[in-house]
Structure 1
Amino acid sequence: MPPLEALLGAAELWRPAARGAGGWATAAALLLLLVAHLSVLLVRRRRRGRARLARQQEDAPAAPAPASPSPSSGSGSSTGVEGLVTEDDLRRLVGSLGVGARQPELEGWDPVIAKGNDAVSYKAWCERTKDGPPRYLSVTTYEGCSTELLRDFYMDNEYRMEWDNTVIKHEQLQCDEDSGIEIGRTVKKFPLLTPREYILAWRVWASDENSFYCLVKECEHSLAPIQRKFVRVRLLRSGWCIRKVPGRDACEITVLHHEDNGMNIEMAKLAFSKGIWNYICKMNNALRRYPQHRGPSISILTMRRLTKKFPQDLQINVDESNRSPVNTAAAVAPPTPSSGTSPCKQLGKKSSRETIASGLLLIGSIVCLSKGRSNLGAQLAMAFFLKKAFKQDKESGSSPRGRTDATVPMQ
């Protein structure tokens, strides 16, 4: 759009002629031209928006099959969802997780974060991809927690909406008794961004030693048409294993996650570096309150009914892996802080001024990066905000074990 001065002309045009109306007539004409110009720009923008939406709908993958209106009904032969999450997917997940014997640093994964306290510890690695966002591998260890409790906590979608304020809505769309597959819709909110909509299919397996596996994949469903007020997430592949930590009263969840939710990658990195440990502590606090929560939710009752037995041949491979001299839990669990420290006390070390400054830097970075523009001004602003944010982290005296590379593993 041309500068305002170019459209309105020099200042002299606004001066009325001597005792006449010629100047005001000129001003009115120029104002009319300006309004017409803005109207044309608005019309063009609306047309581009409609064309973009039409392209997205054309590119959307076809729904697997018409779903039954009742989310609790369906058989493998009639619903057509049995191929969404298969045992072959589970085999690939088990091989990728390498539970009990994996050494991510030696495999080329970049360390992201390692923090812990008396109740919970967290460590994550990042593997960059050629196109799109990176993949993340994380291990979260909970002291004094059983695998069954942790499984129910992670799969309780109703309870998650009570403690996780990023989840706006969750609803079950369909479940299949034969295959054990569930399909659900979740809407999440992100600061200053359009809410993201996830249509996901998942399946849970239980092993003989009270370990549990889950695989989650994006999909489409006839009960969840595309809505313009949400951004539909087209890529989410996530799998986890919950198992007991050998020789300790603790259990851990190992997660392999890959997601493209349309968010600017640099913005996501910055958001993670500023908030992931707070989120882990919040999750741990919710886990400790969970046993006093009301009875099992619909999500948990359905999950328990549909859980399938872990394949015996895979169980043999996992047992051999667990007998390996390398123990993932022992390798990633950071030392616990001194006794008497409450679960998340170490988070309050920064002064209020530093906290406010960090918040302002984060908001400024999000506003800049969420635009996703490649012009020079946006790039310079992005570099300035990131440099200031990470410089502030360094000056705050964080320990090397608390260092982050500002990437985004998801739980």
Structure 2
Amino acid sequence: MPLPIFPTPTLIIPIITDLAVFITPLWIAVIVGVILGWAWKPKWAFDPKHALQKLRPPRSPNPAFTYPATTTTAAAGEKRATGNAVVTEHDLLHLWKLVEEKDGGPAWNQMMDRSTPTMSYQAWRRDPESGPPQYRSRTVFEDASPELVRDFFWDDEFRLKWDDMLIHASTIQECALTGAMMVHWVRKFPFFCSDREYIIGRRIWDAGQIYYCVTKGVPCPSMPKHNKPKRVDLYYSSWCIRPVKSRKDGQLTSCEILLFHHEDMGIPWEIAKLGVRQGMWGAVKKFDPGLRTYEKERASGVPLSPCARAANINTKISMDYLSSLENSTTDLLETENEDSSDKPVGRNIPKLLIVGGAIALACTLDQGLLTKAVIFGVARRFAKMGRRL
């Protein structure tokens, strides 16, 4: 077995010297790169507030997204009462685009057309490139006002009487100024699936007897998830309620509901589509008897439930205001694109100087190929860092 060889001082000193000669150009390149990068540091590096505003727009609406003059005070009060709003004007704009078929999604394919003497129902489905199937339906009730239909679908207490899938409904928080709510639902699923729970944020906008009702899944840190019932995070079910002409006499005595719905229930989507198709009409045909019973109770003087009272508190808007939201969104996206197109120019200056300085150092301080390769590698790392910033 060969004996271990211990280095002597005469051997160590040359090694240390070679290492110092090898490492020195590296450190010089790093220092030069840092100095040059700092010298050409962009504006956002000197002003952190400017960086936040530039790279991450504030959550509160920009001037183009302010509330109408009649609701500015209510909006301010909402922030004081409930903190960050769970349903915002961006959700309103999205629903409006769905109603006006301006959302840019794939085409809808009709899957059902049924009717009764006092109700008609049509349904469509589309399959986006990613995400669960999406459904669109049109329900028309004869001899019904938009206000009655709005309260009917918002009233969780009464829904427990006619919707046999809903087994629990409670209010987590609400805003007395805007009517915005956060509610907790538990829905019963078939025996081979566990029940599902939902944390739903919802709010209504009134555009002159045209009601935009947004409901969607929202996070709620105060209510952690459990194994059972299973939490459904991706949930969207919003509708537009408006008067339409009756098929009987052509008068504006009927009410139309355009519903847009999708959710990820944790079931394979093809199986979920089959279940929806099989059970859709059985669930929908309960709407009309439930509405007529609700109308009779209201006529008898039964006090409004808390949810029904909240449905009567909504934000007043105009159709012109909705159009202005769309234009403001377009302008905002164009501004962001212009800003993003300007950013690489500012970053390329220090990056080129770093690379150029490293190459110059490699070529002048040492003629060894290994040293050049290492310095070039460092330059590439700085370049990658610049692209990530």
Band of TM-score, shorter chain = 0.5 to 0.7
Q: How does 1:15-164 map to 2 (within 5 A)?
A: 75-77=78-80, 79-82=82-85, 84-98=86-100, 108-164=107-163
In 1, Cα distance between the equivalents of 2:292 and 2:183? 26
Unpaired segments ≥5 residues, structure 1: 1-63, 65-73, 319-411
Q: Distance in 2 between matches of 1:103 and 1:222?
A: 34
Contact 1:91-1:314 within 8 A present in 2 as well:
no
Counterpart AA for 1:184: V
Distance in structure 1 (CA, Å) of the matches to 2:318 and 2:137: 24
| Alignment counterpart, residue 309 of structure 1, candidates 306, 316, 328 | 316
- 5 Å matches for 1:7-406? 75-77=78-80, 79-82=82-85, 84-98=86-100, 108-192=107-191, 193-208=193-208, 210-246=209-245, 247-248=250-251, 249-293=253-297, 294-305=302-313, 307-311=314-318, 313-314=320-321
> Taking structure 1 as reference, are residues 81 and 103 closer, same or farther at Cα in structure 2, changes over 3 Å only?
closer
Contact map agreement 2:155 2:305 (CA 8 A) in 1: yes
Alpha-carbon offset, residue 296 of structure 1: 1.3
C-alpha distance 114-317 of structure 1, shift in aligned 2 (>3 A): farther
**Larger helix share, 1 or 2:** 2
Match of 2:64 in 1: none
- Whether the 8 Å CA contact 1:76–1:179 is kept in 2: the answer is no
- Distance (Å, rounded) in 2 between the aligned partners of 1:183 and 1:121: 31
Which whole-Å CA distance do the structure 1 matches of 2:152 and 2:196 have between them?
A: 23
> Using the alignment, how far apart are the partners of 1:304 and 1:162 within structure 2?
21
Deviation digits for residues 213-250 of structure 1 (CA, Å, limit 9, x no counterpart)? 11112112244221222111010122210001134321
What is the TM-score with the length of structure 1 in the denominator?
0.54
Cα offset for 1:211? 1.6
Aligned length in residues: 239
CA–CA distance in structure 1, aligned partners of residues 225 and 155 of structure 2 = 25
The more displaced of 87-96 and 164-173 is 87-96
2-structure distance, mates of 1:161, 1:204: 21
Runs of 4+ in 1 over 3 A off after TM superposition: 177-180, 314-318
CA distance in 1, matches of 2:146, 2:84: 28
Report if the CA contact (8 A) 1:112-1:126 is conserved. yes
Larger Rg belongs to:
2
Identity %: 34
Computed over aligned residues only, the root mean square deviation of the Cα atoms, in angstroms, reads: 2.6
CA distance in 2, matches of 1:107, 1:236: 19
TM norm structure 2: 0.57
**Higher relative contact order (CA closer than 8 Å, sequence separation 6+):** 1
